[in-house]
Structure 1
Amino acid sequence: MDLISSNIFLIVLFSSFIQSITGFGFAVVGTPLLLFFMEPKQVVSLMVFGALILNLMVIYKTRGKSDPKVIWPMFIASLIGIVPGVYILKVVDPSNLKLCIGMLILLVSFFMASNYVMTIKREKLATVLVGIVSGFMGGATSLSGPPVALFLMNQQQDKEAFRANLVRYFCLGNIATLLVMYFMETMELGVLRQGLYAIPGVLLGVWVGEKAFAKVSPKLFKWITLGVIFFCGTISVTSELIKR
């Protein structure tokens, strides 16, 4: 195993650990770290592939705890946003994309840390809009999670339903994004060979995360996750600004 493959394994392990506990964070944590030694297109392909495996595992462990009335409208709406998101990936300069990813991560971490709760009167409409934004971000950066996580957190779902809804939505989104990337020829098929080293990282990360999920309070892990997200976003932005 070379250095890059070892790094992929460790990053995927940690990202899987975070997402198996909170229901989100795989791409948010892993993307800025992988961007240090991989191109954005490669990172997106690898993260979507790894997230699909992870979400299938967590879906099995959260049987009967999701709400299809939330998941399906949001997913169908996300399909509208995926195509323009993937197109942006084809035309935007990689350095600009990396900077935008980092800034987006920082913005999301601030919102999540504020504990601000917005009263939403038209929840069905909000669900559709969140899905569109999530699809666009997923196609462009693989970061489809933050809009959905913020929405479900705002709706104050309990930790079991929160995680179950997120992983099911993400799994559907992963499949759709992979198909769109394949037909629009933005998928880096070569990186999937390195993705083989991600599979053990996903398996181990989910196993450890499930053990921790049952014992540690969601509040504690929320702040741990926010700290990691903020750190990764800061590193991603500052590293790109230094180059300029």
Structure 2
Amino acid sequence: MSDMSLPAIILILATFFAAGAVKGVTGMGLPTVAMGVLGALISPLTAAGLLIVPSFVTNLWQLLAGPALRPVLRRFWPMMLAICAGTVPGAAWLAGGDAGVARTLLGAALVIYAGYSLLARQLSVPSRMEPVLSLVIGGLTGMVSGATGVFVIPAVPYLQALGLSKDDLVQALGLSFTVSTVALALALGAHGAFSAGLMGLSLLALGPALVGMWAGQKLRSRISLATFRKVFLGFLLLLGAEMALRPVL
């Protein structure tokens, strides 16, 4: 924390306020926005460490606020274990990999997520395939989140394809994001990439994230959610494309 300038810290806090506002409006997006913006400006490894506390607290809040925690846990615990298992090799690569390559992979993950969300048709997963697919999707989600700090690919499209009720979907997403955050924190810590100074700044970022989330919830009833979603995904698409193509531009 001591090696960061005051303007850099202000930018980080402003980013988490904006990321919290997006989560307040849409119910998701805090780690994605934080990694997208900060990963374009600083090391993706540092950005991943910064999102740990805000992501954990806001997603745990989302998880515990739902009406059916036990059924969601019973249904998705194999997927959560697979997320943890997949995060370990992904985080090892992020902790020891080249920052430029990590930024390119992060950009690609943002492009894939935003492009899918904007263009793809809603999928449907047959119930007989869920036990196997949950393990596969969980493992892939863990590897992607460990390597990029983005928790949404492919967990979000998969959970949306299961035909869950709105409340169950929000709670399942909260569970997936919470587990992904904890797994990433433990994996980065095991590789010595989550220092006390980074933890302090991550804790400081929690305040703006919670204020932004509150503001986003207030804003939700005053704006078109569909329009906001398109603008948000369009922003992620452009940001991700710039990050992915930066080495060749």
Q: Please, what TM-score do these two structures have when normalized by structure 2?
A: 0.86
Within the candidate set 34, 42, 46, 1:38 is matched to 42
* Amino acid of the structure 2 residue aligned with 1:208: A
Whether 1:174 aligns to 2:178 is: no
Aligned residues between the structures: 242
Q: What is the alpha-carbon distance in structure 1 between the residues aligned to residue 24 and residue 158 of structure 2? A: 19
Q: Percentage identity across aligned positions?
A: 19
Within the candidate set 144, 148, 151, 1:141 is matched to 148
Cα 1:232–1:62 shift into 2, 3 Å: farther
Aligned residue for 1:189?
196
Within the candidate set 3, 12, 15, 1:11 is matched to 15
Q: What is the alpha-carbon distance in structure 1 between the residues aligned to residue 40 and residue 130 of structure 2? A: 39
* Amino acid of the structure 2 residue aligned with 1:62: G
Within the candidate set 145, 150, 160, 1:153 is matched to 160
Q: What whole-Å deviation, never above 9, does each CA across 1:190-244 have from its counterpart, x for those lacking one?
A: 22232243122111122122224456565444323322321321232244433xx
Within the candidate set 200, 209, 218, 2:216 is matched to 209
Cα 1:19–1:241 shift into 2, 3 Å: farther
Partner SS for 1:116: coil
Instruction: Compute the RMSD of aligned alpha carbons.
Output: 2.4
Q: What is the alpha-carbon distance in structure 2 between the residues aligned to residue 151 and residue 22 of structure 1? A: 18
Cα 1:214–1:168 shift into 2, 3 Å: farther
What is the 5 A alignment of 1:122-133? 122-133=129-140
CA contact (8 A) 1:50 1:199 kept: yes
Q: Please, what TM-score do these two structures have when normalized by structure 1?
A: 0.87
What is the 5 A alignment of 1:98-113? 98-113=103-118
Whether 1:87 aligns to 2:87 is: no
Give unmatched runs, 5+ long, in structure 1. none
Partner SS for 1:145: coil
* Amino acid of the structure 2 residue aligned with 1:149: V
Within the candidate set 76, 86, 89, 2:81 is matched to 76
CA contact (8 A) 1:98 1:240 kept: no
Whether 1:165 aligns to 2:172 is: yes
Cα deviation, residue 158, structure 1: 4.2
Name the stretch that deviates more: 85-94 or 20-29.
20-29
Give unmatched runs, 5+ long, in structure 2. none
Q: What is the alpha-carbon distance in structure 2 between the residues aligned to residue 157 and residue 140 of structure 1? A: 28
Within the candidate set 224, 238, 241, 1:234 is matched to 241
Name the stretch that deviates more: 193-202 or 209-218.
209-218
CA contact (8 A) 1:77 1:132 kept: yes
CA contact (8 A) 2:95 2:188 kept: no
Q: What is the alpha-carbon distance in structure 2 between the residues aligned to residue 78 and residue 55 of structure 1? A: 16
